[in-house]
Structure 1
């Protein structure tokens, strides 16, 4: 209960009511000396921090602090609301996949597995068929493979949920236990995508590269490519068309096997392979100073014309000319040595999916060309010179790399763009120009997503994060939003010593690994 107002004190004969104005007297406000008001305390505006759009997969045998922000397969598939799952990959273990759905609903999820084993007597195909026969809710789809040496190498999940949302997940891990246990892999996810509303006019959509509608356009074009011979993805494309992608930030970079026209004026056409990444990067702003493009992969194929293709096709596509005549970036390639594989969590067994050959005369020549470009995966090796700079531990030195990243670092130590993809360094993945006649020939299915800071805000800066997904403002210039990018390797990089060679899975290694085993 409120207190009653205090009574006004009765004035004595000597008291004067201050509310009564005396004739000719100046207002009291004018009789006080004039001084400026005290300065207001300035409150520092908090800088907006944006978590990394790329997450690493959990590593079983690393401590908890190394798995902060990391994601497991159960995190991706364990939601009991999942009604349908499309799983695209190179290697598949159906039992392993099914065990990661919610225990109570896994028998109810419609599971579609898209693979590339087109030969009916292929052991991988026969194994898939035997495993999937145990599940009434699993359907297999063999992708059309027009090129003899191509593979279905894309790694993607498309999920539909009972709450009328959908989600697209692009990652780098095969659907087998080994890849989700002690190997380093990466994951990019869309937000939960709602259904489109009837009021949304498709003619007014922003089709700018990097926007959600453009990502949807390119993704649906990629999925429609599966339908060239058989209607593999027709039903899924029809479903996905109904969803709103406006919250998505990223550009699809994918490869579709076959021959494709390089010159087409259709602004909504999707270009594949090196032509796709080259056209996309023309729209991405970069700093005008010196820069490094770090190519980190798990496989480097034998390339017949290494200088002609690696430098003049792939590297040129990753660094298209800019309006400001920016200097050509320095290219660096991260690939593990035998010592790094030997000391990894699973020892030599970790190297079974990491490929490069150096035995033949052509391969030896390729190694000679690439040797100056090679850097360690783990920068705690006994040999090799480490670049200058503060040590930043990615927390994955002992978890051998199956992830594939292409990142452009500028001289301000921030990131101009980053690509997470299934594509290694090979002509099969990125394609070759067919004798300069205006077509590109691609052998394999690949998929990835390109990100850059301006997708999140015009004034944003993208910076490396280590052992966590969220960036910190400490020591960062500027005041625009700060976007983190979870980097899997440690910085600064450590260059190969002259005596060092890359890991070769087909070679023999007599020195025992961390498990006491030899290789070959």
Structure 2
């Protein structure tokens, strides 16, 4: 079974995987690694107070015993073991997708660079000296096994937000690894989580930074669509360099060091010192991070959606505004209010639209906003079957309060990367124009942040204060920052081609489509493995 005790944690707060770990009873699905899943819901107060499923660490499921339609070989054989040599543009931008088990090798090639965790850590010829991993969920034994043998005893720091029994489980697992040190992130706001996914890898000749979307548990690297950004090697500055030398034009180094120092922990702060001594001048991406707290005055625009707004305002996307669309793609949805204008089409869309409102107007009706979240049938027909939905924790208690959201929803389709059946755990946001002909992207954000106020922040005190509950982190690609008018999705346009795994334009839900709800029973049709989904206390 892939999940360890440490990954059964965190029942009710914001995150990515639904809590369900039971040592007894039958299951709605047969794959044993999937019968134990974990909770990362995205609802803050709603998840804790109203959802009995989300509030439980151990829940039972019932089963229907049907023969799986896929063989073990179909499900378990990992292919596409090397990144495509033809994915030049992806390597230039540093973007990658994770390998998908059961996907034939030629479908992992083309313009997409595909890595597993071992590839990422070993993607440099010199020896790994030490590393630090920021994440929500860890399976320490599995994680250590992904490191190259010669570096498995190198110092490894894990930054987490686990509390209570889940923290105890993590502490116990870490005891088996003398080189592993744990740092518990401070969560200053109720219902917040440590949700950032960040690696900093120190080699003998420099540092690499990885911002990504996957938990450090085996199942997150199996049959899901995940993505990330891998920096080039950041070499140490010359001894005579001043403290102001070496930052990127986007101030990424300064922003990352500010983020790291918000942890107020010496083990983490030390990494800020190491990064400050590196030459980051070649980086062209922006850092968009969130830190818990109420941010105001000169810190108002440092984090959350206001940081995104501040960066995008530096650019004029007016030429692409008339037919522009804004896309949000995510794996969890928080409580957004009784109507769209409470947050989504007001402050959040104002940040996404910064630099030129879609349609040339205010865009306040949200008509230019397209949100991608899988339907029930997307999940049912996926490689994992219904268990994939455990990582898509949109709950009845939240969904019933915001039926208005359905008019913004679009289904998951990723034929361009052959990942339509690999359910997304990635989160991304972008601006594009050009419709179905040849979409042109002004910017593209890869992040850990789902669609929630806890992740992005909510304005208070007449817009003078931004309240954020969780840690999040992402990187923003703006075409103009790379000297390009737009990014392209066409491999033929290699110089401007950026690797977005899903299809554009997205396809709006059909009249019969329903968003995946994790605590609803689905018994009408079996999944790809012949199983049904019947979570406990589902009420139907």
Fold shared, TM-score > 0.5 on shorter chain: yes
Deviations 1:194-240 (A, max 9, x none): 001134344476774x3xxx00000000000001xx43412222222
Q: TM-score, normalised by structure 1?
A: 0.78
Structure 2 residue corresponding to 1:276, chosen from 294, 304, 307: 307
1:426 equivalenced with 2:478 (yes/no): no
Q: CA deviation at 1:338?
A: 1.1
Structure 1 equivalent of residue 287 of structure 2: 252
Q: CA deviation at 1:285?
A: 3.3
* C-alpha contact (below 8 Å) 1:407/1:418 kept by paired residues: yes
Structure 2 equivalent of residue 184 of structure 1: 225
* C-alpha contact (below 8 Å) 2:247/2:279 kept by paired residues: no
- RMSD in angstroms over aligned alpha carbons? 2.3
2: distance between equivalents of 1:306 and 1:232?
43
Structure 1 equivalent of residue 101 of structure 2: 60
Q: How does 1:263-412 map to 2 (within 5 A)?
A: 263-264=297-298, 271-286=302-317, 287-307=320-340, 308-320=342-354, 322=356, 326-327=360-361, 328=363, 330-357=368-395, 359-360=396-397, 363-367=399-403, 369-378=404-413, 393-411=416-434
Q: CA deviation at 1:321?
A: 5.4
Q: CA deviation at 1:115?
A: 0.1
* C-alpha contact (below 8 Å) 1:53/1:485 kept by paired residues: no
2: distance between equivalents of 1:218 and 1:274?
15
Structure 1 equivalent of residue 492 of structure 2: 472
Gaps of 5+ in 1: 1-47, 380-391, 466-470, 474-480
Distance 1:438 1:185, change over 3 A: same
| 1:217 partner SS | helix
1: distance between equivalents of 2:199 and 2:263?
15
Deviations 1:118-139 (A, max 9, x none): x3x32x2122112111111000
Distance 1:322 1:497, change over 3 A: closer
Distance 1:292 1:322, change over 3 A: closer
Q: CA deviation at 1:492?
A: 4.0
Deviations 1:66-107 (A, max 9, x none): 212211101111356111110000011001110111123312
2: distance between equivalents of 1:496 and 1:311?
19
Distance 1:206 1:133, change over 3 A: closer
Structure 2 equivalent of residue 233 of structure 1: 268
* C-alpha contact (below 8 Å) 1:82/1:162 kept by paired residues: yes
* C-alpha contact (below 8 Å) 2:301/2:310 kept by paired residues: no
2: distance between equivalents of 1:366 and 1:325?
26
| 1:378 partner SS | coil
Distance 1:55 1:322, change over 3 A: same
Structure 2 residue corresponding to 1:512, chosen from 526, 534, 540: 526
Structure 1 equivalent of residue 464 of structure 2: 438
Distance 1:455 1:129, change over 3 A: same
2: distance between equivalents of 1:270 and 1:159?
28
Q: CA deviation at 1:454?
A: 1.8
Gaps of 5+ in 2: 1-87, 535-540
1:105 equivalenced with 2:151 (yes/no): yes
| 1:299 partner SS | coil
1:461 equivalenced with 2:499 (yes/no): no
1:416 equivalenced with 2:436 (yes/no): no
Q: TM-score, normalised by structure 2?
A: 0.75
| 2:115 partner SS | coil
Number of residue pairs aligned between Structure 1 and Structure 2: 430
